[in-house]
Every structure is written in C-alpha cells, then in structure tokens.
Structure 1
Amino acid sequence: MKLDTKGIAILALIIGLLTFFLFMPNKGVQQVPPALNVKTLDGETLNLGSLQGKPYMLTFWSTSCPGCVKEIPVLEALDQKMQGSGFRIIGVAMPYDVPAEIQAMRTQKGMTYTVAHDKSGELVKQFDVRVTPTSFLINAEGNVAARKMGEWDAAELEQKVRDLLKG
C-alpha cells in the first residue's frame, strides 16, 4: 500500500488551520460595554449594562446546533435552581437563525430564561463568537469571568455560578 503524501500534507494543513482558528487568542470583549443592547423574543430591548451588579450568563446558540439543543435542559435546570439569586441566563440566537424557528424551539423546549436574537450580528462580533454553543459568564462588575466553547457540564456550570454569586 502506497501512502499518498500529497493528500496527507493537505489533510495536515487543513487540521492545522482549523486548530489555529479555534484556539487562537480571543479578541472578544473582556468587559461588557454598557451600551450593548439585545432584542428579546418578547420584543424588549435589554441593555446589558443595566445587568451590572449581578452576575449573568450570555450563551450564544443556534436552532441548528445539536450541542446547543442538548444543552437547553441544563440551562433551564440551572435557571430554575438560581431563581431569586439575581443570576440570569440570556440565550442569544445567532444572526442566521429564523425568528419563527427560535420561537418554536423556545416553546418546544420550555425555555423560561430570556431568549434573544442577535439579528444584526453585533453581539456575535463583539464577543468574537466562532462556534455554537459559546457561553460567557459575566461577573457583577461586568467583566467576563469565564468563556466556554461547547457544552457545559451541569455540575461545573452550577459551581462556577455559585462562585460568582459569592463575589
């Protein structure tokens, strides 16, 4: 069996580029600009600066992302556990998502936490989101305390949120 060195070299180049793209240093925000707004599915404009004083989570997701859909029950359970703590979850659907599909997913999955749609892509750009799900835990001062690409482990996420609530 003869090795195709040209094919292996091309494959290695593709893998190298993908690795660089996914793991290169983050250029996204380290502190949430107070003027950032997001439009919720309920038609409200939510100013992220107004959330300062309590920690919250921004999670970028898509209706077409299997990992995102799988993570919804984890987020919903956390949201229920944290009721009354001041912690808030904001699920931000990607610009390419269709509003009717976002609403259908929200209804089907029983999402009671805030769901928004980044129709313009401004938040995706500001936070340098490259894959879904990507989540940001924001501390009470408005700083990014944690960034996670991929699904959260439920116990790890809950512990990080509890730590944020302690200050």
Structure 2
Amino acid sequence: MKLDIKGIAILAFIAGIAAFFLLAPAGGVKTVPAATVQTIDGTTLSLDSLKGKPYLLTFWSTTCPGCVGEIPVLEALENKMQGSGFRIIAVAMSYDEPPAIKAMRVQKGMTYTVAHDQSGELAKQFDVRVTPTSFLVGADGKIAVQKMGEWDATELEQKVNELMKG
C-alpha cells in the first residue's frame, strides 16, 4: 500500500478547517443586545442609545470583594475620560438590594452610572456567571473585550484608549 502524501495533506487541511469552525467561539464578535437597564436613580437607559461612542458595561455586586476593590480603578478612569464621550455603566446584580447599592455608591464616591438588573435578565443576555464581568463596547455596538475578574488600571486605560481611537 502506497502512501499518497497529497491525499493525506488535503485531508489534514480539510480536518483543520472543520476543527476551526467547530471550535471557534460561537457568533464571532458579538453585538450588544437591544436592552434597557434601570439606573439606581430611577431613569431608564437604553444600550442602543450608547452607540456612537465606546463604553464599559460592568456587572458587579456589593457583596463581591473584587468588585468593590475595582471601584477606585473605574472611578479614576471616569475622571480621566470626562468630556470624551466614554461612559461607564456599572450594573448591580439582581440579588443586590437597592439601599445597599445606593449606600455603596455614596460610600465609594461612584460618579459613573450605576444601574440595577432587578430581574436578572440583562445578566442572562450577557451570559454573566461571575462578578465582576466587564464588556468594553466599541462605537459600533460590538463587544470588543470581555473580561471576567478585576481590571488592572493600566490595561483598562490602554484598551479604552484603543477603542477611542477607533
């Protein structure tokens, strides 16, 4: 039996392509779902209304040490990006109580938008399983970066600056 090198190479190539498509992340670059979130101040914020400028959507909890530890990093970024059009929206999980969210906002001096996912529907739409989980969204409404865990201040600022440049 003679080995057909060309035939083996073609089969290996086809198998490689099939594996790529079967193992690649589903959907590729995902677009932010058309959703709304209730801010802790009672206003409704449509994620569609944020298109045109990059933003950070971060899911957090008042009972999550990593989330609370990340607040100064987000606050520093908020201060640096003021006037640029970049926004930070921190979405508290459904199990957080509004009085605890409001108290944390005051205690930590959070000046960026704080919302509450009362029903848990937004976390489901974004498939959030742990906090903090963050999504950097480009001006086109597509998720550019998804991160589970706390941000390093330098890394976050670098990613935001890249998004702002387009």
Q: TM-score under structure 2 normalisation?
A: 0.82
Aligned partner of 1:32 in structure 2 is 32
Aligned partner of 1:3 in structure 2 is none
Q: Which runs of 4+ in 1 moved over 4 A?
A: none
Aligned partner of 2:8 in structure 1 is none
Aligned partners of 1:64 and 1:51: how far apart in 2?
28
Matching residue's letter, 1:31: T
Aligned partner of 1:138 in structure 2 is 137
Aligned partner of 2:121 in structure 1 is 122
Aligned partners of 2:96 and 2:58: how far apart in 1?
15
Superposed CA deviations along residues 119-167 of structure 1, whole A, max 9, x for unmatched, are 0111100000000000000000000000000000000000000000000
Aligned partner of 1:155 in structure 2 is 154
> Do the aligned partners of 1:54 and 1:87 also contact (CA within 8 Å) in 2?
yes
In terms of Rg, which structure is larger?
2
Structure 1: stretches of 5+ with no match in the other structure = 1-24
Aligned partners of 1:80 and 1:44: how far apart in 2?
22
Matching residue's letter, 1:32: V
Structure 1 residue 26: Cα displacement: 7.5
Aligned partner of 2:94 in structure 1 is 95
> Do the aligned partners of 1:26 and 1:128 also contact (CA within 8 Å) in 2?
no
> Do the aligned partners of 2:33 and 2:125 also contact (CA within 8 Å) in 1?
no
Matching residue's letter, 1:88: R
Matching residue's letter, 2:143: V
Aligned partner of 1:12 in structure 2 is none
> Do the aligned partners of 1:135 and 1:147 also contact (CA within 8 Å) in 2?
yes
Distance 1:121 1:26, change over 3 A: farther
> Do the aligned partners of 2:135 and 2:145 also contact (CA within 8 Å) in 1?
yes
How many percent identity over aligned positions?
73
> Do the aligned partners of 1:68 and 1:151 also contact (CA within 8 Å) in 2?
yes
> Do the aligned partners of 2:54 and 2:163 also contact (CA within 8 Å) in 1?
yes
Aligned partners of 1:79 and 1:166: how far apart in 2?
17
Q: Please provide the CA RMSD for this pair.
A: 1.3
Structure 1 residue 32: Cα displacement: 1.0
Structure 1 residue 33: Cα displacement: 2.2
Superposed CA deviations along residues 98-133 of structure 1, whole A, max 9, x for unmatched, are 000000000000000000000011110000000000
Aligned partner of 1:72 in structure 2 is 71
Aligned partner of 1:109 in structure 2 is 108
Matched, 1:63 2:76: no
